[in-house]
Structure 1
C-alpha cells in the first residue's frame, strides 16, 4: 500500500512511492521526532534532497534540507521556503480545447 513510505519526486514527476529512507542518527535531534521526521532528516543529510513531512499525529508540516528541520509551517510558509530553495514555480501549460490552434512557440503543437 502507498500510504506508508516516502514519495520521491524528480522535477515534476513522481518517480517512486512507498520508499524507505535512511534514518538520521544525529543525537542532537529533538527527542519528540518520530521515524517519519528522522527519515526526512536522514535523506537530506546524505543527499541534496528537500523533504516535506506531514505529521501523522498533528498534521503539522515540516521542511528539511541539509539535515536541518523547520517545523510548524503553514501552507504560505512552505510555499515561501520552497520558492527560496527552488525558485519560483514554472507556469503550467493549460489544456486546449479540441480544435483550438496552439499559440506560436507552444511545444505541444
Structure 2
C-alpha cells in the first residue's frame, strides 16, 4: 500500500477521482512529472507543479514530456551551478 498526498486544489474538476488527485498532489510537493492513466477511460494525463494536462494523445504526450523534461534539466543545472558557486565562495 502506498499513500500519496491528495491535492486540495478546489479548481480541479469534481469528476476527477483519487488517482488524479494523488497525481496532482505528488506534483505539488515534489519536482516530479506524474503520468496518470484513467482506469475508467484509459485516457492519459500528466501532472506537474500542481497543473494537470488531461486527455493527451500520443503526440501531445510526447510533446509535453519533452517540454517538461527539458525544463527540469535546465532547473537541475541551475541548482548545481548555484551549489558549486556557493561552495567556491565558502572556500575563499
The answer, yes or no, to whether TM exceeds 0.5 is: yes
CA distance in 2, matches of 1:85, 1:30: 23
**Alignment correspondent of 2:63:** 80
Give the number of the structure whose residues are more often strand, by fraction.
Answer: 1
- Deviation at 1:79? 0.8
**Alignment correspondent of 1:69:** 52
Structure 1, unmatched stretches of 5+, are 1-17, 88-109
- Deviation at 1:69? 0.3
Q: Which runs of 4+ in 1 moved over 4 A?
A: none
TM-score of the superposed pair, with normalisation by structure 1: 0.61
How many residues in Structure 1 have an aligned counterpart in Structure 2?
70
Match of 1:56 among 25, 39, 57: 39
- Structure number with the bigger relative contact order (C-alpha 8 A, sep ≥ 6) is 2
1:39 and 2:22 aligned: yes
Classify the secondary structure of the residue corresponding to 1:19: coil
Give the number of the structure whose residues are more often helix, by fraction.
Answer: 2
